[in-house]
Amino acid sequence: MSLPDDTRQRIQSVIDSDRVVLFMKGSRQMPQCGFSAQVVQILDSQLGEYTTVDVLQDPEIRQGIKEFSSWPTIPQLYVGGEFIGGCDILTEMYQAGELSQTLGTA
């Protein structure tokens, strides 16, 4: 299934709206899955501000972001418009000390 242009544009617009954007299940204050909660905890330890998108509120975005990134799972982190990865990758980057460099907080 190919991603409709309007959904692609909506996703790109959100990614372009902030340097750090997290597509997740739930909100930063109330994550709705363990993986999203883990990524929020990691990001909160590194950053004061970043944008989150609750994919549970929008089925088009929930499916569309997977096609947009060619990545099958949520959460998904974008930094400077570039897809960084999901929970496992972010956890590994955090533990290796690489995430702060990617986020520019080193």
Residue 106 located in a structural domain? no
pTM, two decimal places:
0.95
Residue 10 located in a structural domain? yes
Work out how many domains the chain is built from and give that number.
Answer: 1
Residue 18 located in a structural domain? yes
- CATH number reported for the structural domain that contains residue 23 in this entry: 3.40.30.10
Question: How deeply is 29 buried, as exposed, middle or buried, from its count of CB atoms within 10 A (0-12, 13-18, 19+)?
Answer: exposed
- What is d(CA 53, CA 62) in angstroms, rounded to the nearest whole number? 10
- What is d(CA 59, CA 4) in angstroms, rounded to the nearest whole number? 13
pLDDT of residue 1: 61
User: For the segment 26-56, what is each residue's pLDDT rounded down to a tens digit?
Assistant: 999 999 999 999 999 999 999 999 999 999 9
- What is d(CA 78, CA 81) in angstroms, rounded to the nearest whole number? 6
pLDDT of residue 82: 97
Residue 82 located in a structural domain? yes
Residue 14 located in a structural domain? yes
Cα dist. 80→1, 14, 15, 34, 88 in Å? 27, 12, 8, 25, 20
Q: Which residues of the chain have pLDDT under 70?
A: 1
**8 A C-beta contact, residue 55 and residue 62:** yes
Domain coverage including residue 60: 5-101
